Structure 1
Amino acid sequence: MRQETMETTTEALDKQRLGQGVRSSAETIAAYSARVQDTAPVEDTWKRNTRKVAQYLSDNVPEFRRLSELRQKGWDNPKGDQYFKQQRRQADEGAKETVRIINLIMGKIAREMQGATGAFSISTNNQDTGPPMILDMCTAPGNYLEYALQINPGACAVGFSLPYDKGGHELIVRTSGAVRISLLDITLLAADMGVADSDIPPDHPHARDFLPARQLRAGRAFDLAICDGQVLRNHEPHRAAYREAREARRLTLTQLALGLEHLRPGGTMVVLLHKLEAWDTVLLLRAFAGFSAVRLFKPRSGHAKRSSFYMVARDVRSDQAEATAAVEAWKEQWRAATFETDEQRWRECREHFQDAVLDVDAFLREFGPELARMGREVWAVQGDALAKAPFIRK
């Protein structure tokens, strides 16, 4: 069961950084702890850039302009808040009937996505490397993995999911010798994210929880990586307080970094994103467009009223310099979000990444037309669904 309120956040790496050396994990953590700047919070810049992107899209894309008008009607109507609060309450309670319905919806979304994009089909061109391999970074309940296994006979899979006692959900996919699911918190995969056990501060709130051994060995490659995990409200009691404001970011960074790092060249990534016009989202799309064929998909069969959508990145050139640099950048950001536990210092550390971000006006001149082309169908589907919503209809 995956909550539709996660802020998907990751910054694209500017090409100038490709030639820079990579710090050790200890050097990176120490550098972040020492970095103090007297600047406005980076969040202000990102919000301002998001507004500029939204204005550009309103001026140039009728589908986005219509959606913005419908959103405003929803925000102006208290019944809209009531509608989504009721949905969140039902999801949180996790009644058997609610779980059954959500599983049915996710199964429909998987089939709809496959019909529109072929996202789950694995090419047989790599048969000399063994059976098709699938990586599911946040498996539960497992609808997408189950569907991918069905349409790729003989495929093997590796997945991760939170234990039930940590807020995880029951799996519907069956494990076997070919399908291995590890129950753990992927945001604590320190070794996989480039941090040695000896570099973890002993006074860190989760010092004993980080996994010191790699779960995905170096060089292990997959044909398909599914990255659709989200932070759920029922996870909150199981994590330290400092993680609340940045947990969605840490989860996204982990999925992106490990998914891309372990993707075989030519493979496919399926990534759940939110708020297509958000500055961090469009930067991510631009980054992937530099080393893959990107297509966006918004299902009509479920969650159509919400801002969520899927990026399907095909023919990913995971061995290309831009891709490997992006992986290191995401790991670097995860290290900052994980080990800088003071909120003020964390905001200061985030300024470090602003240096690598394009000016928003230059970005829109370069990538704006492509962004508009990518997003038209996403905005049209959400607009059609909102127009029929009970809190919008007259």
Structure 2
Amino acid sequence: MSISDGYTSPVNPESFPDDNLLSHLLQKGVPELKRLVDLRKRGWEDDSLDNHFKRRRTVADTVDDKMNVIWFKKMKKAFSELNKAAHFVPRSGTLKFLDLGCSPGGFSSYVLSNNNKDATGIGISLPPVQGGHHFLLEKHFMRRYELIPADILEYNLGPAQTEIGTAEMRPLPYEIGGRDLVILDGHYLRTYLPASSESPNEWDRHRLLISQLIIALRSIKVGGSLVMKLTHPERVQTAQLLFLLDVLSKDLRTFKPRTIHANRGTFYAIAQGVGLGTQSARQAEYLCDLEALWYEITFGGENGRGRFLTRNDMDFIVSQESLVSEYAKRLIELGMDAWIVQGDALYQWFSKKGLV
């Protein structure tokens, strides 16, 4: 796909399936995943679903005030589901949280309204002028909340002492440090407009993923909780991120809300006791490697314009061979809820359409 100046991007590696990991998981006998894979294949083969997804994209790209309110309420309910599953939002005591990609504000609203008068938060969200959603947090909560309108992709997240050759990069706000809870829910918007005059790059969504993780590890306190939205636990890169959260935290569990996107591949990883895991001594090392990766996908590639994540980029976390040979059983445990919920939702949807 070409962008405005005629520069051709490299092929997105996500167009190639992660055959080795997926095949191994299926060979271990996971009927829930096998059922989901079969349902997805049936959906891909039915052309009638194309119009449905086109309409969904149009609605998502043209959110009006009414729809924004609907999503605010749904996100608040979804975060309630997450907290009921893992109990990571305390009802009393000091709670400092950071919400990345916070608009329209449903997640932050739930945290502030959870009967904890001492909870305070900071949210970072893409300004509407750059294609972001409008922020709808209730006015009476704003005295305990700071909204920072900013593009996460414009923060300098490279290794220390590394010279960044662009004036658009800014340092992270100092006040986001020492967070008891960090929420990573930012996702790449098709309406995104960079502050610069250049068109967005196709790999910016990969940069957004790595950027959020770096900000989380820089800002979270030892023993804090991290909630991260991910997609498809059977994918290699997702599995590597799950492994990272698993070894850095005291407890990791996953949950897929039933309120939103039940028939899609998204789910949430909930890591509690970050910095208290079996490999927490390596947390600073992992962070340095992520910062180096951020620099490469931001300024590497053809003409120094950045590039997609590739299959081997996160092997410093865990190799794909180790995922297959040593982590598969744990990965199945972590992926089960996402596979079951999405499978049930797709089956119900396809049944209504007469596809199953």
Q: TM-score, normalised by structure 2?
A: 0.85
Q: Distance in 2 between matches of 1:136 and 1:343?
A: 34
Q: Does the C-alpha gap of structure 1 residues 42 and 326 become closer, same or farther in structure 2, counting only changes over 3 Å?
A: farther
1:155 aligned residue (105, 119, 131): 119
CA RMSD of aligned residues (A): 2.9
Matches within 5 A, 1:1-394: 47=16, 50-59=18-27, 60-119=29-88, 121-122=89-90, 131-151=94-114, 152-173=116-137, 174=139, 176-190=142-156, 193-194=158-159, 199-201=163-165, 207-211=166-170, 213-216=171-174, 220-236=177-193, 243-292=200-249, 293-317=251-275, 320-340=280-300, 342=302, 346=306, 353=313, 356=316, 358-389=318-349, 390-391=352-353, 393-394=355-356
SS of 2:241 mapped into structure 1: helix
The residue identity in structure 2 corresponding to 1:53 is L
Q: Distance in 2 between matches of 1:83 and 1:307?
A: 17
Q: Deviations over 1:137-161 (max 9, x none)?
A: 2211110011011113211111111
Q: Conserved in 2, the CA contact under 8 Å of 1:57 and 1:65? A: no
Q: Distance in 2 between matches of 1:355 and 1:105?
A: 36
Q: Conserved in 1, the CA contact under 8 Å of 2:74 and 2:259? A: yes
Q: Distance in 2 between matches of 1:289 and 1:67?
A: 24
Q: Conserved in 1, the CA contact under 8 Å of 2:230 and 2:267? A: yes
The residue identity in structure 1 corresponding to 2:110 is Y
Q: Conserved in 2, the CA contact under 8 Å of 1:46 and 1:280? A: no
Paired positions, count: 338
Q: TM-score, normalised by structure 1?
A: 0.77
Q: Conserved in 1, the CA contact under 8 Å of 2:300 and 2:307? A: no
Q: Conserved in 2, the CA contact under 8 Å of 1:282 and 1:371? A: yes
Alpha-carbon distance, 1:322 to partner: 2.4
Q: Does the C-alpha gap of structure 1 residues 341 and 185 become closer, same or farther in structure 2, counting only changes over 3 Å?
A: farther
The residue identity in structure 1 corresponding to 2:101 is C
SS of 1:134 mapped into structure 2: strand
The residue identity in structure 2 corresponding to 1:235 is Y
Q: Deviations over 1:296-334 (max 9, x none)?
A: 111112100100000111111169222222222221111
Q: Deviations over 1:85-137 (max 9, x none)?
A: 11111111112332232223212211222222224x1386xx5xxx3101112
Q: Does the C-alpha gap of structure 1 residues 90 and 295 become closer, same or farther in structure 2, counting only changes over 3 Å?
A: same
Q: Deviations over 1:38-75 (max 9, x none)?
A: xxx99769946x21111122222110000011111100
| Greater relative contact order (Cα < 8 A, sep 6+) | 1
Q: Deviations over 1:143-188 (max 9, x none)?
A: 0011011113211111111112111211111464431111111221
The residue identity in structure 2 corresponding to 1:155 is A
Q: Distance in 1 between matches of 2:188 and 2:14?
A: 24
The corresponding residue for 1:11 is none
**Which has the larger displacement, 370-379 or 95-104?**
95-104
Q: Conserved in 1, the CA contact under 8 Å of 2:180 and 2:220? A: yes
The residue identity in structure 2 corresponding to 1:141 is P
The residue identity in structure 2 corresponding to 1:137 is L
Unaligned runs of 5+ in 1: 1-40, 202-206
The residue identity in structure 2 corresponding to 1:226 is I
Query: Aligned residues: percent identity?
Result: 27
Q: Does the C-alpha gap of structure 1 residues 288 and 240 become closer, same or farther in structure 2, counting only changes over 3 Å?
A: farther
**Which has the larger displacement, 58-67 or 384-393?**
384-393
Unaligned runs of 5+ in 2: 1-9
Q: Distance in 2 between matches of 1:352 and 1:65?
A: 26
Q: Distance in 2 between matches of 1:104 and 1:69?
A: 33
Alpha-carbon distance, 1:243 to partner: 4.7
Q: Distance in 2 between matches of 1:363 and 1:65?
A: 19
